[in-house]
């Protein structure tokens, strides 16, 4: 590899395009490690694959179809979509076969199963594919047509993005989480502040952060417009991948003199829990501000590919232990995978949640996209740990969604209004 300085993202592109050097702005064709689709985007990708004339996918172990958006199926149309994935998976004899009882929310499932790893180049027909950057991989969302062609060829074209380095230093205050850091960043730079750029997260806070938190931060890079979010792999990454990764991880790091378009630094000790008001993730307020407004809550959702991991369930249980959900609030928890469900049961989190009058779902993306299992009526207010609060995102166009961490969501469920655990 060339001695010219490169970011970790540029190094991944150089390796996957068999070039000595890649730099921002280059148009390249690169080989992919994983092609991913779900039950909404997969059927379209399969149609496009069939138009290519190829009979078989490029690699049975590297094409992954996960039915998670409308599964278990909510109606006939969603059943047909899942059936399309199921039949293609078995017809192609794909190595990874996921269905009800074995599937999970795709962006939690693939890392958990070791299907994605450090140094990978991953595309998925879902915008939150950027989650896997937490492992030190380049991962990004693409359209179903691009994915269908890549399922045949094993490659696709890219424009190498320029990079913004985001440095988080200092000590986190109580109840401040990875979700608060990424919401704070989005509130600072805006939903188009990193448009088609790499967001490379670093600093002592990131280095000390567990994998669950890192996944949350990279998951929402797209909410700042980024092409990808990425974190350099380290000992915490390697420990997570140990006895999990199905392929040998490739440990890459940005060169010290790598070129960044911009460097943004934060002292996290000055950041308090964040709430993103309707109808954009950039519309951020501190919990101190939100608590004073007496915003009455109808529903609380804890889960999704952003905050449905074990640490998130633990946080909710910590707040809800010995307490009850407000009688006028519907609280729903959506663990991201079957393994997370099992561990939550073993650790006693489920008993705490159920005793608090929380409804617990099987893994699904359902409420996050206004699909099923928690649709909002007109004028209803939801505090959600998901990633988007656009108009009509979780139901009626006149409903309102406030994005927050599991701590704030759980506290709001008890209070019946948006508030902090400090108020309980």
Q: Which of 265, 295, 311 is where one domain is finished?
A: 265
pLDDT confidence of residue 253? 96
106 and 155 both lie in a single domain: yes
E strand or H helix that includes residue 236? helix 235-241
Q: Are 160 and 303 found together in one domain?
A: no
Question: What's phi and psi for 127, nearest 5 deg?
Answer: -65, -25
Q: What confidence score (pLDDT) does residue 116 get?
A: 98
Residues 268-283, mean pLDDT to the nearest whole number? 96
Let me know how long the chain is: 424
- Same domain flag for 13 and 118: yes
Query: 367: pLDDT confidence band, cut at 50, 70 and 90?
Result: confident
Both 214 and 286 in one domain: the answer is: no
CB of 408 within 8 A of CB of 273? yes
User: Do 133 and 189 belong to one domain?
Assistant: yes
What is the pTM assigned to this prediction? 0.95
| Domain hosting residue 320, numbered range | 275-419
Contact (CB, 8 A) for 55 and 40: no
- Hey, is 124 helix, strand or coil? strand
Q: What is the domain-level CATH number for residue 202?
A: 3.30.499.10
Strand (E) or helix (H) holding 228: strand 228-231
Cα angle 95, 99, 102 (rounded to 5 degrees) comes to 85
Q: Is residue 2 part of a domain?
A: no
Q: 260 and 302 in one domain?
A: no
Question: Is 235 contained in some domain?
Answer: yes
pLDDT band of 1, cuts 50, 70, 90: very low
Q: Do 169 and 281 fall into the same domain?
A: no
DSSP 176: -
Same domain, 111 and 224: yes
**Is residue 219 one of the residues assigned to a domain?**
yes
- Do 242 and 302 share a domain, yes or no? no
Same domain, 15 and 51: yes
The DSSP H or E segment spanning 111 is helix 106-112
Asked if residue 184 has pLDDT above 80, the reply is yes
Is 3 a domain residue?
no
The residue from 223, 238, 265 where one domain ends is 265
What's the total number of domains in the chain?
2
Mean pLDDT of the chain: 96
Tokens for 81, please give them.
């979509």
Distance CA 139, CA 114 (A): 15
Domain boundary residue among 244, 265, 286? 265
Residues 125 and 74 in one domain: yes
Tell me the average pLDDT across 184-189.
97
- Both 256 and 310 in one domain: the answer is no
Q: Residue 424 domain-assigned? A: no
- Which residues fall within 8 angstroms of residue 355, CB to CB, at 6 or more apart? none
Q: How confident is the model at residue 368 (pLDDT cuts 50, 70, 90)?
A: confident
Residue 27 lies in a domain: yes
Is 315 a member of any domain?
Answer: yes
How far, in Å, CA of 297 to CA of 362, rounded?
24
């Amino acid at each position: 590899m060339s001695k010219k300085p490169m970011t970790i993202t540029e190094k991944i592109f150089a390796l996957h395009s068999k070039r000595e050097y890649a730099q921002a702005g280059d148009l390249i064709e690169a080989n992919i490690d994983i092609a991913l689709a779900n039950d909404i985007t997969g059927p379209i990708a399969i149609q496009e694959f069939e138009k290519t004339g190829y009979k078989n996918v490029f690699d049975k172990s590297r094409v992954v179809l996960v039915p998670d958006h409308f599964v278990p199926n909510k109606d006939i149309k969603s059943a047909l979509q899942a059936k399309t994935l199921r039949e293609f998976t078995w017809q192609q004899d794909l190595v990874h076969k996921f269905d009800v009882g074995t599937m999970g929310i795709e962006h939690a499932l693939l890392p958990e199963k070791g299907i994605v790893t450090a140094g990978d180049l991953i595309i998925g027909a879902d915008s939150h594919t950027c989650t896997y950057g937490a492992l030190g991989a380049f991962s990004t969302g693409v359209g179903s047509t691009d994915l269908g062609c890549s399922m045949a060829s094993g490659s696709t074209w890219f424009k190498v993005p320029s990079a913004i380095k985001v440095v988080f230093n200092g000590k986190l205050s109580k109840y401040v989480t990875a979700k608060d850091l990424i919401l704070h960043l989005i509130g600072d730079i805006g939903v188009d502040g990193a448009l088609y750029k790499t967001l490379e997260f670093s600093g002592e806070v990131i280095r000390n952060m567990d994998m669950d938190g890192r996944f949350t931060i990279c998951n929402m890079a797209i909410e700042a417009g980024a092409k990808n979010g990425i974190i350099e792999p380290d000992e915490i990454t390697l420990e997570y991948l140990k006895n999990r990764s199905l392929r040998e991880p490739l440990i890459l790091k940005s060169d010290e003199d790598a070129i960044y378009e911009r460097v943004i630094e934060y002292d996290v000790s000055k950041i308090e829990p964040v709430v993103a008001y309707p109808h954009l993730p950039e519309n951020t307020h501190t919990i101190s501000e939100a608590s004073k407004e007496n915003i009455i809550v109808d529903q609380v959702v804890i889960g999704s590919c952003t905050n449905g991991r074990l640490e998130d369930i633990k946080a909710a249980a910590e707040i809800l232990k010995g307490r009850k959900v407000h009688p006028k609030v519907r609280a729903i928890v959506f663990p991201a995978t079957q393994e997370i469900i099992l561990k939550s049961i073993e650790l006693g989190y489920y008993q705490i949640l159920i005793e608090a009058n929380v409804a617990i779902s099987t893994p699904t993306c359902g409420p996050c996209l206004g699909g099923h299992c928690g649709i909002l009526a007109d004028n209803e207010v939801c505090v959600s740990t998901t990633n988007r609060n656009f108009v009509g995102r979780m139901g009626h166009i006149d409903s309102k969604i406030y994005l927050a961490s599991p701590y704030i969501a759980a506290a709001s469920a008890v209070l019946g209004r948006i508030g902090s655990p400090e108020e309980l």
